[in-house]
Amino acid sequence: MKVREIYCPYDSFQMRYIGTDRLQMGKYGFFTGHLDNFLSGALTVSIYECPRCGKLEFFRFRKAKKK
């Protein structure tokens, strides 16, 4: 998985890749409603943080598909 170059939407600082983590969906109610079809309790995400303002950005972690 590549580390993306992404920039904070608030101050245009380059965001720092922290790593991946698993979110327990029951604790993140704002996700439900959109993604509940393909969630079974936890979601693996890549996390980026803006070192200036602390903004966090999550991306769904995707495993490489094999044909």
CA 38 to chain CA centroid, nearest Å: 16
> Which of these segments, 24-32, 35-43, 50-58, 59-67, binds Zn ion (CB under 5 A)?
50-58
Q: Is 16 in the site for Zn ion (CB under 5 A)?
A: no
Q: Is 52 in the site for Zn ion (CB under 5 A)?
A: yes
Min dist CB 54 to Zn ion, Å, is 7
Beta strands 42-49 and 56-60, pairing class: antiparallel
Q: Is 10 in the site for Zn ion (CB under 5 A)?
A: yes
- Residue 32 has φ and ψ, to the nearest 5°, of -70, 150
